[in-house]
Structure 1
Amino acid sequence: MWTIPNILTMMRVLLIPVFVVVYFLDWKWAHQAGAFIFWLAAITDWFDGYLARKLQQSSKFGAFLDPVADKLIVATALIMITHTYASAWITIPAIILMAREVYVSALREWMGQQGSSERVKVSFIGKAKTMAQMLALIGLLSELEYFMGVPIFWVSLGYILLYISAVLSIWSMVEYTIAAWKDLTAPSEPINH
């Protein structure tokens, strides 16, 4: 259990309360520091998968905890940006993203019980959604439009990427549903008493 990839994944979970506390500190750069912690957690997500393959340290525990850690920190960040911006323009795509995560997680669990989890494995669209979502959250959490007087438009880019990730999340959800449709519509087995 105590492999490098698993330690990185557990570190990502432990960063969640740190991320929240730092983000809400009464300090000028608190939001930027919180965004940096979120970025650091996002980077560990890439590293733990890479190292698990490279060091041949894949484990059942890691396979379980990795997506849980991702969903926990992303859900936390989505709640925080809806609080910070208090706008329907942020809240609506955030709700779409969270609802999609619940739906796809439930679908994958159900498909796993049917022995058909391969049909709903992560697709390219799902990976593109994750990338757009992470970049959107970093930009929106940071609230940076200027850095040292230079316009960088992080927040504007964050808005655009949040909507792109919401569209990709719906697209991937439909894609996974179509892949699972045969199992979802198969007649159920009679229950024997």
Structure 2
Amino acid sequence: MDFSYGGPPVLRGIDQHLPSGATVALVGDHGSGKTTLVKLLCGFHRPTGGTVTVDGTPLTELDAAAWRERVTSAFQDFSRLPFLAREAVGVGDVPRIHDIEQAAEKGGAAQVFARLPEGEQTRLGKALGDGVELSGGRWQKIALSRAFMRPTPLLARFATIRMADLIVVLDGGQIIECGTHAELIDLAGRYARLYDLEASAYQ
């Protein structure tokens, strides 16, 4: 699969199977094509070459609204919502905004709640003047838990990538490595170098 915004290709020769139900982490430097690939998988854009398929069916033949209800993502430039901590997770699925326990455990927000002065009832951020500011890693756990609010999430991109079932590494619009965290660390390639550089920022 290829994609271009009208100029040089942003993605080239993408040919990757993503297992059903898997949590997938996309890793790469700024401009490597991560966000574009997610947008293609979500159906926001169509490839300029090749096809995105779901169980062998072209994505363009599926009901777009139904597909988007099943897809969720947590981007690196996630929103830092100035809500109560539990609400900052719950808005990931507004009809279930009060049913956050499973998502909070899975995404790590429960650990964040435990360290807040008023637990999950603590207001986050300084946008409204009275909230508690979090570290980058803790904000990302809130964002990841928000992504897990969807009952059948298919895709998540997050900094705590060791939790992912599959890690896909992009560079220059191409997939250069793919595997589990342990496999890619053993490979000692691009992923291992990026992980060493960024891990300290999310502790």
Q: Could you tell me the TM-score, scaled by structure 2's length?
A: 0.29
Greater RCO, CA 8 A, separation 6+: 2
- Structure with the higher strand share, 1 or 2: 2
Q: Could you tell me the TM-score, scaled by structure 1's length?
A: 0.30
